[in-house]
Chains A and B, each alone.
Chain A
């Protein structure tokens, strides 16, 4: 059992389970699956200031904050209680490419060499963790959705703006990965 829960899930098991979140949330409470709006609710609950964008009945959206809390708990189960003891089984091409930029420790979910508290004080770590996180929060709200709300719910609902959003997510990711990130990693 322990072994079964620690093992990584292949995409053809995990993907359908993730897809089932859409009908599940609709059935439970007629809610659209999407995560990035929780960041807005956190602002509305904690630091609304005088901004009209954060002045709304965020308590009506409590379900999504509870759902986000569940995601965190799921992370505890998947990463701390039943962690994968093996390094991430990346393709040979990916391993080679990462080794070429000095990333050789493939254990855990995120490269320890880049994501640690000491690194946040360096330019490289500050860019990856603080600036990167900022762009995720800014961009998802500006786009009115993220990978869950647009790429899964919106596309499954056959809405073309969500397809455009998904293409924009990938365009940004490709520009970062191929053009900018090599420079950041070389810092």
Chain B
């Protein structure tokens, strides 16, 4: 039942991402060349709405449907935040897709992105294999 809720949420998210063209290589190029406000407006309005939502959740002590107090585990800063972040940025501008859009593009019929998604899984695996040898 709970999984059904996550499935519906994911479907709405994937549809909105696709319709906002946030999954489009064209839009990502336009963003990195500062040729339109579209992607910046999208990201900033998403952050503001999420921020206000979190503030309200805290203010009113809202609990999840399962009754747990709501908490987000913080992500600590490491050298990987910068080095990995830049590595991801390179790939983002090449494929025109971050992980969410990779799934959406496969669904949207851009089938060569199946290969990009598999390559992303391989990249994740390579990180797991090299982890101890990378600066953190």
Contact = CB atoms under 8 A, between A and B. Distances in A.
A130 B116 CA distance: 5
Interface string B31-47: 11101111101111111
A72 B103 contact: yes
A148 B98 CA distance: 9
A137 B42 contact: no
B48 A135 contact: no
26 contacts: A27-B64, A33-B50, A54-B125, A67-B10, A73-B14, A75-B14, A78-B14, A78-B108, A79-B107, A79-B108, A84-B19, A109-B21, A115-B110, A131-B119, A132-B119, A133-B102, A133-B117, A134-B91, A136-B99, A138-B87, A139-B89, A143-B82, A157-B74, A158-B51, A167-B85, A173-B32
Interface of B: 2-3, 5-33, 35-39, 41-51, 53-54, 56-57, 62, 64-66, 68, 70-78, 80-100, 102-113, 115-129, 131, 134
Given A71-B104, A79-B109, A152-B46, A17 B12 contact: yes
B2 A28 contact: yes
Q: Is the interface of B mostly helix, strand, loop or mixed?
A: helix
Contacts of A36: 98-99, 124
B64 A28 contact: yes
User: Which of B3, B36, B39, B81 gathers most chain A CB within 10 Å?
Assistant: B81
A151 B82 CA distance: 13
Interface in A145-172: 145-162, 164-172
A138 B119 CA distance: 9
Interface residues of A, number: 130
Nearest to A29: B2
A13 to B, nearest CB: 8
Interface string A109-139: 1110011110110000101111111111111
B20 A14 contact: yes
Interface centre among A7, A18, A51 (most CB of B within 10 A): A18
Among B33, B64, B98, B99, max chain A CB count under 10 A is at B99
Contacts of B11: 70-71, 73-74, 77
